[in-house]
Amino acid sequence: MFPVLSLSGSVFPLEMMPGFLQAFARILPPYYVNEGLRASVVFVHNMTALHNCATIGPLAVVVFVVGRMTTKWEEGT
């Protein structure tokens, strides 16, 4: 998890990374969470924050549904 967070801009700014890592970071879901929080808290660009939320929202739903389908819950014995 730490490599994903560090590559997504949580730990190190993307501007300091090489171009290929910047392109890879824009694929990672925490990138959109970071950019949305930065847009709403620091820059007060609420539409940008909503755009990032709309980008990450469907992915969260897909991950939840796949996790629900692949996890089998059993009653304790």
User: Tens of pLDDT along 9-53?
Assistant: 888 888 888 999 889 888 888 888 888 888 888 888 889 888 988
The pLDDT value recorded for residue 60 is: 92
Residues 6+ apart with CB under 8 A from 40: 46, 48, 49
The model carries a pTM of 0.70
Give the N- to C-terminal CA distance of the chain in Å, as an integer: 34
Instruction: For the chain, give percent helix, strand, coil, nearest 5.
Output: 70, 0, 30
Position 46 in a domain: yes
Structurally, how many domains does the chain consist of?
Answer: 1
Position 27 in a domain: yes
Position 16 in a domain: yes
Query: How far apart, in whole angstroms, are the C-alpha atoms of residue 51 and residue 36?
Result: 8
The pLDDT value recorded for residue 77 is: 60
Range of the domain at 47: 2-69
